[in-house]
Amino acid sequence: MAINQKVLEELLNQYPSKVKRNRKKHIIIKDSALARQEIEANTRTIPGIITNRGCAFAGCKGVVLGPLKDVIHIVHGPIGCAFYTWGARRNKAKSEDPTKNFINYCVSTDMQESDIVFGGEKKLARMIDEVMEIFKPNAIFISATCPVGLIGDDLQAVAKAAQEKHGIPILAFNCEGYKGVSQSAGHHIANNGLMEGVIGQGDWEEAPGKYPINILGEYNIGGDSWEVERILKEIGYTVIAVMTGDGSYEELKNAHVAELNLVQCHRSINYIADMLETKYGTPWLKVNFIGVQATIDSLRNMALYFGDPALIQKTEEVIARELARVEPILGQYKKICQGKTAFCFVGGSRGHHYQGLYAELGIETVLAGYEFAHRDDYEGRDVIPEIKLDADTKNIPDLHVTPDERRFRLKISPERMEELKKKIPLRNYKGMNIEMKDGSIIVDDLNHFETEEFIRLLKPDIFSSGIKDKYVVQKMGIPSKQLHSYDYSGPYAGFNGAVNFARDIAMAFTSPTWNFITPPWKNEPLLEGTIAEGGCSEC
């Protein structure tokens, strides 16, 4: 059944009135007849609601910084924060020099009570010394955790002194878990630090190849960025840096030489995308490499941006060849998936990106949302001027960059920019909502209660989200697909990714296990037979 306002109201009426008032603003039923539908997002989490959200530390160290493989990430705090970001997110990395790949290490100052009482700066400085001696990394990043801000450890000062002592970049990130309202604050903090301390630190003045690009907001989960790079390199692009999947300090420091920045995850990296344009004059293009058509559109938009007929032709050749290869395979899976419905509730970008891939398999997304996206991710960047920063987000510093005197160069003329902007999403993202069908549900910061209620009402055939709700939903007999970890599969990006995804989704539907949920004795009475009229003659 579809959900109308009345049904939604009944659902919300089960909440205490204050909670209802709040949650009402975070849920909309898509209706394109309305001029605009505003959603509330990026506001504080309701205590006790059972959110799926994490913290600023997770957004900073766990998401943006952690994938950089030649950097030692020191987590300054008690042991948990480091432990839980050790190998749990599948940002893959490989390195020609395995002694410069620290991706399997977990380094923490492991603060003890005495560090809380007397301060942890000295211990942190010791850890930096020890890391230098053992690992000799290209850079060291320090991430703060909850108690660090409270006890007043001055990470920036420790990092500065250590950088002078050791002669490598040592950056501190004040991403205490309580900052902002979600992972999102951590993205912003990480973006600021990378822009200030890493990007542009290299001495390249020119790209080492044709069509130089950066891929922003791509974390190589399950090998996604390798599949994207495979396609791009074949077309002829030079990938300067990926932020930050399989990335490195060494790559990032020369990211300023790119001619175009691709933005996959808008939420986590749009700050850097904007700052790169201001500082170096490099425009960014919103791309989406999830789904065959989205990948094709992205490739064509890129080719259009560079405008080189040879590049355009090569792009079409690769597209044609890949399509011929994957379409028949996808067709087989589509037979299994056709006509089914999905929920798509993921962090800050995949809630949107996977809808196209689902649609290609014949699966309609009937509910979607984000844990921690902002209004622009839902409604498009046009609403940015209207977004008011509330008290919880105000304290996340904005970094203001200015054009680099030496390196700033307009990559395309303003006229061409205007012309291209009409055709392709240059420095623009239209958000998730515009692509959703009328009647579908858009929920921000979906919680456990709403998960159960919406499943009861909409009965989706597949639920895509994360590990915390996966088994909740499976217990109901509904297949559940993790779209953070890909259930340890992947890649899901690009052409090969679409095939992998289709295979995994089809497997989720066709697994024989679903047939065993009800024991046979539940469908059959214990005693069978008829009772003879007038009783049994034998007795």
Is 312 one of the binding residues for another protein (CB under 8 A)? no
437 is a contact residue toward another protein (CB under 8 A): no
Q: Work out whether strand 341-346 and strand 238-244 pair parallel, antiparallel, or are unpaired.
A: unpaired
Residues 286 and 103: their CA atoms lie apart, in Å, by 28
Q: Going by DSSP bridges, is the β-strand pair 238-244/212-218 parallel, antiparallel, or unpaired?
A: parallel
Shortest approach of another protein to residue 79 CB, angstroms?
Answer: 5
507 contributes a contact to another protein by CB under 8 A: no
Compute the least distance from the CB of residue 61 to another protein, in Å: 11
Q: Choose one: 4-12, 85-93, 282-290, 298-306; the region binding another protein (CB under 8 A).
A: 85-93
CB of residue 379 vs another protein: minimum separation in angstroms? 24
Under 8 Å between Cβ of 80 and 36: no
Q: Helix H segments across 172-243?
A: 183-197, 224-235
Within 10 angstroms of residue 199's Cβ, the number of other Cβ atoms is 23
Q: Which is nearer to another protein, 362 or 466 (CB)?
A: 466
375 is catalytic: no
φ, ψ for residue 285, nearest 5 deg: -120, 130
Instruction: Give, in order, the Cα–Cα distances in Å from 250 to each of 92, 138, 262, 284.
Output: 17, 7, 19, 22
Cβ-based nearer residue to another protein, 40 or 316:
40
Q: In this complex, which beta carbon is closest to another protein, that of residue 23 or of residue 266? A: 23
Among 3, 12, 52, 483, binds another protein (CB under 8 A): 52
Cα 515 vs. chain centroid, distance in angstroms? Answer: 34
Closest approach of another protein to the CB of residue 172, in Å: 15
Task: Indicate the residue among 61 and 279 with the shorter CB distance to another protein.
Answer: 61
Task: Point out the catalytic residue in the list 89, 230, 300, 427.
Answer: 89
Q: Does 146 bind another protein (CB under 8 A)?
A: yes
CA dist., res. 402 & res. 455, Å (int): 49
Q: Site residues for another protein, window 20-49 (CB under 8 A)?
A: 44-49
Edge-first strand order for the sheet with 341-346 is 27-29, 441-444, 364-370, 341-346, 462-465, 480-482
Per CB under 8 A, contacts with another protein among 104-133 are 104-113, 115-116, 123-131, 133
**Under rule CB under 8 A, residue 250 binds another protein:** no
Query: Which neighbouring-strand residues pair with 213?
Result: 239, 260
CA-to-CA separations, 68 to 24, 64, 71, 257, 272, in angstroms, rounded: 39, 8, 6, 19, 16
CB-count burial class (<10 Å; 0-12, 13-18, 19+) for 161? middle
**Both tokens of residue 404?**
């680099």
Looking at residues 395 to 434 of the shown chain, list those that interact with another protein (rule: CB under 8 A). Answer: 395
- Report the distance separating Cα 501 and Cα 527, nearest Å: 47
Binding to another protein by residue 56, rule CB under 8 A? Answer: yes
Residue 415 burial by Cβ neighbours in a 10 Å radius (0-12, 13-18, 19+): exposed
Binding residues with another protein: total (CB under 8 A): 91
Q: Of 187, 188, 350, 484, which residue is the catalytic one?
A: 187
Q: Binding residue for another protein (CB under 8 A) from 29, 30, 37, 101?
A: 101
Q: Is 509 in the site for another protein (CB under 8 A)?
A: no
**Nearest residue to 348 (alpha-carbon basis) of 266, 430, 429:** 266
User: Minimum CB separation from another protein for residue 36, in Å?
Assistant: 29
Closest approach of another protein to the CB of residue 55, in Å: 3
Residues 180-209 contacting another protein, CB under 8 A: 180-181
- C-alpha to C-alpha distance for 470 and 212, rounded to whole angstroms: 40
Neighbours of 421 (CB within 10 A): 13
Residue 401: both structure tokens together: 């960059």
CB of 108 to another protein, least distance (A): 5
Which position among 58, 241, 303, 498 bears the catalytic label? Answer: 58
CB of 440 to another protein, least distance (A): 23
Q: Out of 16, 167, 339, 525, which residue is the one contacting another protein (CB under 8 A)?
A: 16
55 a catalytic residue: yes
CA neighbor of 219 nearest in space, from 515, 505, 485, 496: 485
Residue closer to another protein, measured from CB, 11 or 255:
11
Residue 303 annotated to the active site: no
According to the binding rule CB under 8 A, does residue 58 interact with another protein? Answer: yes
Pick from 119, 149, 236, 403 the residue near another protein by CB under 8 A: 149
Note if 265 is an active site residue.
no
The residues annotated as belonging to the active site are 55, 58, 89, 187
